[in-house]
Amino acid sequence: MRAAMGRGILVIGLLIPLVPLVLWSVTRTWQYPSLLPQEYDLRGFEELGRPGSDLLEGVTTSSIIAIVVTLAAAGIGLSAGRALGLYHFRSKRLIQFLMLAPVIVPAFAVTMGIQVLFIRVGLNDTLWGVALVHMIPTVPYVTLVMGGVFANYDVAYEEQARVLGAGPLSILFRVTLPAVFPGLAVASLFAFVISWSEYLLTLLVGGGTVKTMPLLLFAYIGGNDSTRAAALGIIFIIPPLLLLALTSRYLTGSKRAISGLGKL
Amino acid sequence: MSFRSKSLAEPAPSGAGSALGPTIERSERLPGEWRDGFKILALLSPALFLIVVLFLGGFAFGFLQSLGFLALVGDGGLSLEAYRRMLEDPAVRASLPLTLRISIISTVLSAVLAVASALLIRGTKRGQKFLVWVFQLNIPIPHIVGAVAMLLLLQQSGYFSRFAYALGLVSSPAEFAPLIADEFGVGIIVHYMWKEIPFIGVVVLAALQSGVSDFEEVARTLGASSWKRFRYIIVPFIAPSVFSTSIIAFAFTFGSYEIPFLLGRPFPAALPVVAVQSYNDSDLLSRPEAMATSVLITVFISLLVYLYMRVSDRYTGGVR
């Protein structure tokens, strides 16, 4: 009986914040104190289909940045993770600290410091500059996950392929990548979502000219238009929810992977 | 120092790992082997380059600017003036207790409720899959979307207020207690708990599913009460997971800008909000102070990272 009540409270507590979010996203009018909207429509979502709209621009800009960041983080993290997972070396502990710190320390603090240099080299207010600072939290994160993956990886398969005459590229694509693919896919999806959700770094370096979804969301919240803000929120969580659907079996399994979720 | 047990390569908190049996030792590679050394360096260099330039470089540059280096105004000499100004700034002084209060309360409550939820879910026979699904659902929801949800739920004309009206508790939005932009930070704390309970909870759940029930069974047959089983078996089993995820949750709540900005007040504001406020201040004298605040946040959270590594190492059976 007590357990049943506990379960009820847990489910309601976790789900109830999503109820007004979903309702508001399809609301036309919803006056106080009504518990349900008086009129519904899809104006919050319609903008997505209009060429040149803020919403479409936001989705495009956010996607480009997140894809660039994800590809770079996957490649760099794969390489560094291999070093951390397969080898023992003297300064490994320091490297682990250096990789863990940017995952947990808020990146805006160091971004403020480096912005002076970004202005000098012309990276400020550009999409590339924004993508570059998004790599501060994502690259170390993929590195850590891949370090864990490579720690349970058997290099002997590569040796065998080599003995049988496979070249380095062939080994990479036919032996190594298939073996570490599940881990790499999960880490990359997380990198995508971390970049996709980043607000402050984009604002600091993009200076408002690089208009991503989070910047738009902040503008809508400030603009007091609950319907647009809620609809944008719903569009916003589609990639993260896909991520959950694809990776939920790893979620409860890998503690390393989830440490990155503390970031979202 | 140079030779370590392989389990250290996985410094994730792991009451779980130790129960999964010993990891298979691979042949240790000699650190002095040149070929390997070169390979390691080549593999690490892109990531290291990025972190050294952007993260360490950003920190170093921020630190130098906090000392007055590269300042757009002033005499150009290095000084601790910015740190003195920071400590005397009423915005910073009001911010420290608020920031610590929010982080400590939300982390402690989240940890306790996460353990309770994980035990509850583990004890559920029918519908466990559904519970786990709901539990995981909001983990990937970005904080800023969660903040919008909290606004619509908790503000004075929000969803809860409408329920209160339906129950006859309030007759207008103004009568509903302000939970957003309130003095205590209730809205911020509720939001963090909503996000952190599942975050800590799924890690605890994973730890609980990794062999603890065998020990419990033995204890039960030996006559241990349910309290004793909790205290002497479950607690030691999940403590490392709870502690390490709590450190991450605490560090996040202490260093994040978006949530206190959206759900809190401009004054007193959380420390990251104060840092950004002074960074964007039109008075350029505030720049070094913003840098000093950032340096403070970075150093404090880096200490937490170090603590996290120590905790993880200890429980994964590494050489201390």
How high is the mean pLDDT in each 10-residue block of chain B (320 residues)?
A: 36 37 45 74 95 94 88 68 91 94 97 96 90 88 95 94 94 93 94 95 86 88 91 90 90 95 94 94 86 94 90 56
Nearest to B1 among A82, A90, A233 (CB): A90
Question: A-B interface: how many C-beta pairs under 8 angstroms?
Answer: 324
Is B156 within 8 Å of B187 (Cβ atoms)? no
Q: Which residues of A touch B139 (CB under 8 A)?
A: 244, 251, 258, 261, 264
d(CA A195, CA A134): 6
DSSP symbol at A26: T
d(CA A168, CA A171): 5
d(CA B94, CA B312): 34
Distance from CA of A11 to the nearest CA of B (A): 7
Q: Domain for residue A83, yes or no? A: yes
Q: How far is CA B157 from the centre of its chain?
A: 31
User: Any idea what the Cα angle at residue B48 is, between residues B47 and B51, rounded to 5°?
Assistant: 85
Q: Domain for residue A47, yes or no? A: no
Q: Which of A153, A15, A33 is nearest to A83 (CA)?
A: A153
d(CA B138, CA A240): 10
Contact A79 B309 (CB under 8 A): no
Q: Which residues of B touch A248 (CB under 8 A)?
A: 133, 136
Distance from CA of A32 to the nearest CA of B (A): 7
Q: Which residues of A touch B257 (CB under 8 A)?
A: 106, 108, 199-200
Q: What is the pLDDT of residues A181-199, one digit of tens each?
A: 888 888 888 899 899 999 9
CA nearest to B116 within chain A:
A6
Contact A10 B2 (CB under 8 A): no
Q: Is residue A86's pLDDT more than 50?
A: yes
Q: Domain for residue A28, yes or no? A: no
Measured CA to CA in angstroms, residue B67 lies from B75, B193, B271, B303, B305 at distances of 12, 37, 19, 22, 25
Contact A88 B3 (CB under 8 A): yes
Q: Which of A15, A12, A18 is nearest to A233 (CA)?
A: A18
Q: Which amino acid is at B223?
A: G
Tell me how crowded residue B122 is: count the other CB atoms within 10 A of its CB: 17
| Percent of chain A with pLDDT strictly greater than 90 | 66
Nearest to A244 among B124, B140, B159 (CB): B140
Q: Is residue A241's pLDDT more than 90?
A: no
Q: Report yes or no: B234 at the A interface, CB cutoff 8 Å.
A: no
Q: Which residues of A touch B199 (CB under 8 A)?
A: 258, 261-262
Structural domain spans, chain B: 6-27+90-315
| Percent of chain A with pLDDT strictly greater than 70 | 94
Contact B47 A196 (CB under 8 A): no
| Residue corresponding to tokens 């006056």 | A31
Residue A39: its H or E element: strand A39-40
pLDDT value at residue B16 = 37
Distance from CA of B252 to the nearest CA of A (A): 7
**In chain B, residues 80-109 whose CB comes closer than 8 Å to chain A:** none
- Which one of B144, B151, B157, B170 would you mutate to disrupt binding with A, by most A Cβ within 10 Å of its Cβ? B144
Q: Which of B74, B305, B39, B263 is nearest to A106 (CA)?
A: B305
Distance from CA of B260 to the nearest CA of A (A): 13
Structural domain boundaries, residue A106: 65-263
Q: What is the pLDDT of residues A95-109, one digit of tens each?
A: 989 998 998 899 999
pLDDT value at residue B273 = 96
Total tally of structural domains belonging to chain A: 1
User: Any idea what the Cα angle at residue B109 is, between residues B105 and B115, rounded to 5°?
Assistant: 155
CA nearest to A242 within chain B:
B140
Contact B152 A258 (CB under 8 A): no
Q: Is residue A255's pLDDT more than 70?
A: no
Q: Which residues of A touch B258 (CB under 8 A)?
A: 199-200
Q: Domain for residue A60, yes or no? A: no
pLDDT value at residue B317 = 42
pLDDT value at residue A16 = 96
Q: Domain for residue A17, yes or no? A: no
Contact B44 A95 (CB under 8 A): yes
pLDDT value at residue A74 = 96
Q: Which residue has the higher pLDDT, B231 or A255?
A: B231
Task: Report the interhelical angle of B159-166 vs B143-154 (nearest 10°).
Answer: 20
Q: Is residue A159's pLDDT more than 80?
A: yes
- Which one of B33, B41, B55 would you mutate to disrupt binding with A, by most A Cβ within 10 Å of its Cβ? B55
Q: Report yes or no: B303 at the A interface, CB cutoff 8 Å.
A: no
d(CA A87, CA B16): 24
The mean predicted confidence, pLDDT, of chain A is 89
As a CATH number, domain B6-27+90-315 is 1.10.3720.10
pLDDT value at residue B27 = 47
Q: Report yes or no: B246 at the A interface, CB cutoff 8 Å.
A: no
Nearest to A105 among B26, B65, B298 (CB): B298
CA nearest to A199 within chain B:
B258
